[in-house]
Amino acid sequence: MTHSMNNSRLAVAVAILAACIPQNLRAAELQQSTLTAWQTYLAEVDTHMQQRIAGKQTFLWADESADRAARVRRGEVVIAPITANGMKHVPKGLIHDWIGAVFIPNATIDSLWTVLLDYDKYKQVYRPVVTESRVLSCTKEKQEFVMAWQKRALFVSAAMQGRYQAVNVQVDSHRGYILAEATEVREIVGYGRKNERMLPPDTGNGYVWRIQSVERYEERDGGVYLEVEAIVLTRDIPESLNWLVSPVVNRLSIQSVTTTLSMTRDAVVSIRGEAERLTHCQNPIGASITATGGGMK
């Protein structure tokens, strides 16, 4: 009886959401006030990262809790929100901030770099979510790449393309982090169909407006610890739908971080024993910036 009632409630909830979305979630454009709040939030993220580098906090988030560190070491993929309930309301937008950690046994920083810095192969490593990826430019200071992806949730299917800038920072011989920021995100309408077209930046449904990821890594204990903090700016959710949409959005965030960590671990494990070849563009030593002065930007 309870199971049947729960199914009925879910069906009603989905029906309500389907009926409400066309009226309440019309196309939206990114506002300057929203972008300013996003930039302020990223400055706070940068401050926390510099505190970790300076030793004022543990370098790895997993090490902040003995229980969390033990779970990661045992092979779990541990995920948690950085902000309350994973979302922070800003003017006409939402910032989603989730972090996860995984341990890759018998891995080295070199084998991790082989996967994380080969942006051309993201469409293979992270398929079917990532549908296209290619490097646009590469210098000693930074790499630029474009990546397209598609996500489905209930009746909503969103295809997006982001233009990213990435840098790899070596803190020391066994620790570092990769910062990747999508400086432009464009929605793809009619993805995979004849009428497929790309909307101008900062327009459309507002599923994703900006993305930044911080991937911290440390080689120790016979492997590599990898953490991914995924920070996303989206449109806001009408108050009338918040109770229904928020759990779906949070579930997608958890799945996204979990999938990224699991697929990265699998890819690193799969190259074990093979020659790890890095092009100059992938070479973290040549492409790194100093960990002091200038921060993450």
Task: Name the token pair of 204.
Answer: 């459309």
Distance CA 257, CA 263 (A): 10
Q: At residue 13, does pLDDT exceed 90?
A: no
Of 79-88, 106-115, 256-265, the one with minimum mean pLDDT is 79-88
Q: Where are the domains of the chain?
A: 29-289
Q: Which of 282, 278, 277 is nearest to 140 (CA)?
A: 282
Task: Give residue for tokens 């979990």.
Answer: 258
User: 243 near 96, Cβ under 8 Å?
Assistant: no
Topology at the third CATH level for domain 29-289: Alpha-D-Glucose-1,6-Bisphosphate; Chain A, domain 4 (3.30.530)
- 17-45 average pLDDT score: 74
Using 50, 70 and 90 to split pLDDT, how confident is the model at 213?
very high
220 — phi, psi (to 5°)? Answer: -170, 170
Of 26-35, 74-83, 98-107, 270-279, the one with minimum mean pLDDT is 270-279
User: 182 near 169, Cβ under 8 Å?
Assistant: no
Amino acid at 39: Q
Report pLDDT for 291. Answer: 35
Of 16-25, 70-79, 97-106, 240-249, the one with minimum mean pLDDT is 16-25
Burial (Cβ within 10 Å: 0-12, 13-18, ≥19) of residue 147 = buried
Using 50, 70 and 90 to split pLDDT, how confident is the model at 272?
low
118 compared with 272, residue with greater pLDDT? 118
50-68 pLDDT, tens per residue? 999 999 999 999 999 999 9
Burial (Cβ within 10 Å: 0-12, 13-18, ≥19) of residue 230 = buried
Percent of the chain predicted with pLDDT > 70: 75
Distance CA 42, CA 211 (A): 10
- 31-43 average pLDDT score: 95
Mean pLDDT of the chain: 81
- 213-228 average pLDDT score: 97
Using 50, 70 and 90 to split pLDDT, how confident is the model at 126?
very high
